[in-house]
Each structure stands twice: as structure tokens, then as C-alpha cells.
Amino acid sequence: MKRELTYIYVFPTRDKSSTKYSYTLQVTYPTKKETHHSKLESNDTMESAYLIKPRVTYSETINSPIDIDWFKFKATSGKKVKISLTSLPYDYELYLYDKKGNKLNRSLNGGTKSEYIHFKVPKTSYYYILVRPARDNYSLSKKYRLKVE
């Protein structure tokens, strides 16, 4: 995940005649170390994608605003594949990549609408699925469901 510099501006809104102000800024940001609860949770990179089997439903969580989940599956040339991301607790996005990291397709329905990708396999190979939160959506307990058919 790309790190970005963020600025926070603090300025008075009421007593503009005063030249001294005090404030407290507390930033709490969950870290991956604090939120790992799943045997699949080491799948935060394409290289560490969790190998999934066709026609099996996997339930997983997005544990923080920066958590992403990678999965991989093997598909045979000429076959039609359907990837389903359902039971979304929040707005999550679904992407499909080839083994070289080229984005092949995506589903960005918005809200808690299920996400689907349909594609015809161009060649027998491993293909990669990325599930990521849209904006800062995540839940430590509410699981999404992923299935490849």
C-alpha cells in the first residue's frame, strides 16, 4: 500500500481575538499486527496470495483501512470463470490480474452490492484476485464471501 503525506490544519473558529490556543490531537490507526485473526491473513501481497479451490466459498474479513486480500486460482484455457464477492458488510472492490500483474478486469458496484467478474480464460495459468476496501471501509468481525466457479 502506498504511503501518502497528510496535512491537518488546525485553526480557531470562535474566539479569533486570542493568540493562544491549545488542542489535543489523537490519531488511532489499527495495524495489521493488532488485527490478524485469520489463517489466510498472510495474503497481503500478490506473491503471498492464498491458493483457493473452485466451487469452494471462502469467508474473510478486511481488518483495517489498509488491509487487502490476495487469492490465486488455476484456470484452464477456454473455460468460462465467474468470480463472486458477496455478503459485503461494506463497500469492497474486486479485481482480477494475470500472473504478470496485469489487471484483466474489475467490479466496482459500490455500496454493499455483490461484485462479479465473468471472463473466458485465455490460457491455462494461475490468476489472481484482489479484494480491497473502497475508502476506509473495514470490519474486524463481518466477513465477505469469495467464490470462483
Domain containing 107 — which CATH number? 2.60.120.380
Residue 17 lies in a domain: no
Distance CA 131, CA 133 (A): 7
Residue 120 lies in a domain: yes
Residue 9 lies in a domain: no
Residue 10 lies in a domain: no
Residue 137 lies in a domain: yes
Residue 107 lies in a domain: yes
Residue 32 lies in a domain: no
Residue 14 lies in a domain: no
How far CA 71 is from CA of 4, 20, 74, in Å, comes to: 26, 53, 11
The one-character DSSP state at 143 is P
Q: 43: domain range?
A: 37-148
What does the block give as the cell for 12?
A: 480557531
pLDDT (tens digit, 9 = 90+) per residue, 69-84?
999 999 999 999 999 9
Write down the mean pLDDT value for the chain. Answer: 84
Residue predicted with more confidence, 66 or 27: 66
Per the listing, cell 488546525 goes with 10
pTM of the model: 0.74
Inter-residue contact 133 to 62 (CB < 8 Å): yes
Distance CA 148, CA 129 (A): 10
pLDDT of residue 96 exceeding 80: yes
User: In the chain, how many domains are there?
Assistant: 1
Instruction: List the alpha helices (DSSP H) in 21-105.
Output: 32-35
Inter-residue contact 44 to 69 (CB < 8 Å): yes
pLDDT (tens digit, 9 = 90+) per residue, 11-31?
555 655 666 666 666 555 544
